[in-house]
Amino acid sequence: MFRACIRPDLDLRILEERHAETVFALIQQDRAYLRQWLPWVDATETPADTLAFIRSALEKFAASSAVTAGIWHRDEFAGVVGTHEILRLTRRVELGYWIGESFQGRGLVTDACRAMITHLFEDRDLNRVEIHCSVSNLKSAAVARRLGFELEGTLRDSTLAGNRLHDAYVFGMLKKDWHA
C-alpha cells in the first residue's frame, strides 16, 4: 500500500478499489454537508459511483496526469485531497479537497494539502498550484490562506455549489514562493 505519514494522527494513502465502500459510506453519512459545496455529491448515489471515481483516479495516477489520495485520521478514513488534470505545458494544476464533518477543525486538510503541494512542486516539477472555491466557502478559503496562497481574483458564476452558480475565488501558489 502507498502510504505517507504526515503527522502521528494523519496519513495519506492512495485510494484503491477496496476503499470504495468506506469512502462512499462517509459521503452518504455527510451528504447534506458536502453537497453545499461539492457538485459531484448528488451524482454519487451508490458505492459503484465511488468505485468508478477511484478507478479513474488510479488511471490518472498511473498516467501522471493527476494525483488523488485519501486522508486517514488515526486509521479512520476522513476525506480526500487531490488534483484536477495536470496541465503539463504550463506546469500548473488545481487542487481540491473535502473532509467529513466530524473531522473538521484539526488541521488535517491544511497538513494534507501541504504535503501534496510539496510533492507537486518537488517530485512532479510543477510551477503553479491553484485553489478555487466559492466566495461563500469561508472554511475552504481559510485553508488556502493558511497555506500562504495569494488571492489572485474572483471568477464570476464559476463554481456550482448547492445547485446554484457561485462566484469563485482563485488562490495561487508558485513554486518559488512555496518554501519562502
Ligand X SMILES: CC(C)(COP(=O)(O)OP(=O)(O)OC[C@H]1O[C@@H](n2cnc3c(N)ncnc32)[C@H](O)[C@@H]1OP(=O)(O)O)[C@@H](O)C(=O)NCCC(=O)NCCS
Site residues for ligand X per CB under 6 A: 34, 37-38, 97-99, 104-110, 133, 137, 139-140, 143
Closer Cβ to ligand X, 101 or 125, answer by number: 101
Distance of alpha carbon 74 from alpha carbon 81, whole angstroms = 17
CB of 92 to ligand X, least distance (A): 17
Query: Least distance to ligand X from the beta carbon of 76, Å?
Result: 14
Cβ neighbours of 152 (radius 10 Å): 11
Write down the least CB distance from residue 103 to ligand X, Å: 7
d(CA 61, CA 14): 9
Check: CB of residue 169 under 8 Å from CB of residue 150: no
Question: What number of residues does the chain have?
Answer: 180
Q: Which residues are registered as beta bridge partners of 165?
A: 160
CB of 110 to ligand X, least distance (A): 3
Shortest separation between residue 77's beta carbon and ligand X, angstroms:
13
Q: How far apart are CA 66 and CA 96, in angstroms?
A: 11
Pairing mode, if any, of strands 76-83 and 68-73? antiparallel
- Nearest to ligand X by Cβ — which residue? 107
Cβ proximity to ligand X, 113 vs 120, nearer residue: 113
Q: Where are the alpha helices (DSSP H) in 79-122?
A: 108-122
